[in-house]
Amino acid sequence: MRMNGQNYRTIWPDSDGRRVHVIDQTRLPHHFETRALDNHLVVAAAIKDMVVRGAPLIGVTGAYGLALALSHDPSDLSLHKAHQTLLETRPTAVNLRWGLDRLRRIISTLPMEQRASAAFDEAGRIAEEDIASCEAIGEHGAQLIKDRAKNLRRPINILTHCNAGWLAAVDWGTALAPIYKAHRLGVDLHVWVDETRPRNQGASLTACELLGENVPHTVIVDNAGGHLMQHGLVDLVIVGSDRTTRTGDVCNKIGTYLKALAAYDNGVPFYAALPSSTIDWQMRDGVREITIEERDPREVTHISGRQSDGARVEIELTPAGSRARNFGFDVTPARLVTGIITERGVSAAQEEALINLFPEYA
Ligand code: MRU
């Protein structure tokens, strides 16, 4: 997608398979910088420190990380250790395990001399498949937006939380893909962007993406959504997901559940858009079974941004003696989810409906 008038993907390998390049998302929106990652430990740090983030993107980055490890040492021990190190970086998004397991399954049967190049090829295939899935999600979701916008004599207002756009995937994104597609089809739309404390992925990344694609949007504080819904200012909510159970429980960035509750109370349709790589077919009860990442409390007690002279600063928000905790995600139970937009179409948030779309997981 476009940023500063140029088309980008979030991740791309060198042609000789020695390095993988990514956009440093900790520097956005004020600085556009790329980073070259040349071994799996650097990749693991980039995932942990959220240089790259978003469920589909960490799945693809993890796969490239494993490929880099194999290019240094193709042994079974190296494969095992790198898989472990990368998997431990972030616990909630299932795409990471999905990407790493897929690569390991294929590579472990190959002779040593073929492993590194086969791993790079497979990581590339995962990236291409992600783009195709996100684009298909965009097409299915755009239809839904068009239908909903049909009888409105004003822009359709869509609320989104966190960043589930192309920066969270390889291209297009999940929740934002339907918005980009509908916008390109000429649907008159406007996006409410939750700032998404504590790391502000909405204010910094979603706003930056929407600006790059000239999509009308307004950034709001996280707690404004319910108020807007009560006043008829939200027609549709679309969020992404980091892990969705086979029964349709949706785990996404902290605060998503509260948006779903407000949407339910106000009769606003609430959709999650996700590729099937985000569905954990082994899980049925999201609230009980999904591990919720807890990050450094400093992300809550401090905030960073750009000063008027352009310098980046971090400031303290809370009294030094106050304790803070930083829960990264929450689970929205399926009963609050109107539908799930996948690469194969829109499904009810129910096991039977999801299995109808993905019968191979019956
Ligand atoms: O902590 P992050 O920034 O990785 O969290 C990202 C989200 O919660 C996204 O909504 C989710 O990964 C869906 S991505 C298309």
Bridge partner residues of 334 (DSSP)? none
* Nearest protein CA to atom 15 of ligand 1, as residue: 164
Average pLDDT across the chain, whole number: 97
User: Quick one: pLDDT band at residue 128, thresholds 50, 70, 90?
Assistant: very high
Residue 252 Cα to ligand 1 middle (Å)? 7
Residue pLDDT, tens place only, 31-68: 999 999 999 999 999 999 999 999 999 999 999 999 99
- Region 259-273: mean pLDDT is 98
- Region 188-216: mean pLDDT is 98
Enter the tokens of residue 260.
Answer: 């779903």
Residue 8 Cα to ligand 1 middle (Å)? 19
Q: Cβ(56) to ligand 1 under 6 A?
A: yes
Buried-exposed string 241-266: b where 16+ CB fall within 10 A, e elsewhere:
bbbbbbbbbbbbbbbbbbbbebbbee
Whether the predicted pLDDT of 114 surpasses 90: yes
- Residue 332 CA to residue 247 CA, distance in Å, equals 12
pLDDT of residue 15: 86
pLDDT of residue 217: 98
pLDDT of residue 4: 87
Rounded percentage of the chain residues whose pLDDT exceeds 70: 100
Q: What is the dihedral of CA 202, 247, 262, 198, to 10 degrees?
A: -30
Whether the predicted pLDDT of 16 surpasses 90: no
* CA nearest to 281, candidates 342, 337, 217: 342
Is-cis flag, bond preceding 29, omega within 30?
Answer: yes
pLDDT of residue 302: 98
Left, alpha or beta for 147 (phi > 0: left; psi -120 to 50: alpha)?
A: alpha
* Catalytic residue selected from 171, 194, 235, 242: 242
- Region 165-172: mean pLDDT is 98
pLDDT of residue 100: 98
Residue 55 Cα to ligand 1 middle (Å)? 5
- Region 72-87: mean pLDDT is 98
pLDDT of residue 17: 80
- Residue 84 CA to residue 101 CA, distance in Å, equals 11
Q: Cβ(259) to ligand 1 under 6 A?
A: no
Whether the predicted pLDDT of 30 surpasses 90: yes
Active site residue 309: no
pLDDT of residue 233: 98
155 DSSP 8-state letter: P
Q: Give the atom of ligand 1 at the shortest distance from the alpha carbon of 53.
A: 4
Q: Cβ(53) to ligand 1 under 6 A?
A: yes
**Beta-carbon neighbour count of residue 229 at 10 Å?**
23
